[in-house]
Amino acid sequence: MKTLLLTCAQTDPAADTRFTVILLVLAALTLITLIATGILSGRAFQHAPKRNGKLNLADLGIGIGLLFVGAFVVGGMAAGILENNGETPAPSDTMLRMLIGQAGMLPVVIFILWRGGNATQGGVGAFGLGFGQPRASLAVMVLGCGAIVLLTMATSILLYLLLILLGVEPPRIAHEALVALLDTNSPGVKWALIVSAIGLAPLFEEIIFRGLLQTGLQQSGLVRGRWVTIVIASGLFAVIHFSPIAWHTIPALFVLAVGLGYAYERTGSLWPPIFIHAAFNALNVWFVLSGMVKTQ
């Protein structure tokens, strides 16, 4: 689940302005710091661990094929079964579509962990499910979480304001799952959506996009350079979420994905991007459930 809260809808317009200004200033200072410290340069990965894996083009092909069949075909069938003839789907239908789609990801996740463990010296831990650099991983999880979330939300707010200036008013809640979370009165549906958003989606999607795509592109020799693989994997990450989110949030999703890709490359572990991804989704869920953001 990728969701970008494009603005905070509160009763006091001045409070909205203060929040927006503070967030944008903090994001600007964060970006300046990242540039000044060389994190966004070619020196960023000087101390990053080397992964001695051997994922190849066949692994990429099989993984992408399983992803297509599992997530898109199964998920598409679920969407067809639960079709509401153009009307807003019921929260329970949205929940079922999400869970069925994530269940469809299980085959590719299992394949990635099996193949990655076999193809990497040190097994699945060295592939990404271990903590090869505990201190670096902890630092990236804590500091990176704040920086990535700030930059992602700043991007989404800037795009929101730009569209307002152009006379287009986008929805304040950009993901159908958050709309369902806001609309449902069922505790079971609400908790299923929360678990899907904060638990399953970050785990499965980071294994797929960072573990398979980002790693496979590099180890297969198809792409050279860590930043290049991060950008390509991040672009695919953003585009693949075009359906469940509003189109104008794609650039902000790309910013989020670049941060997640950096966290993986810098630490050699999937846990930092999983944690940051989960924290980002949890923040969005909290905004909605706390009443800070509404559909109108």
Domain ranges of the chain: 51-124+133-289
State pTM to two decimals. 0.88
The list of the chain residues with pLDDT below 50 reads 1-15
Task: Please give the biggest Cα pair distance in the chain.
Answer: 57
- 251-281 tens-digit pLDDT: 889 999 999 999 999 999 999 999 999 999 9
- State residue 254's pLDDT score: 94
Q: Which residues of 129-161 are buried (b: 16+ CB within 10 A; e: fewer)?
A: bbebbeebbeebbeebbebbbbbbbbbbbbbbe
pLDDT of residue 43: 76
Amino acid at 52: N
d(CA 9, CA 7): 6
- What φ, ψ does residue 120 adopt, rounded to 5°? -115, 130
pLDDT in the model for residue 88:
63
pLDDT of residue 292: 67
Give the pLDDT confidence score for residue 156 in this predicted structure: 86
Integer angstrom CA distances of residue 65 from 118, 148, 202, 241: 20, 30, 20, 17
Residue 236 near residue 209, CB atoms below 8 Å: yes
Distances (CA, A) of 92 to 27, 173, 232: 36, 18, 34
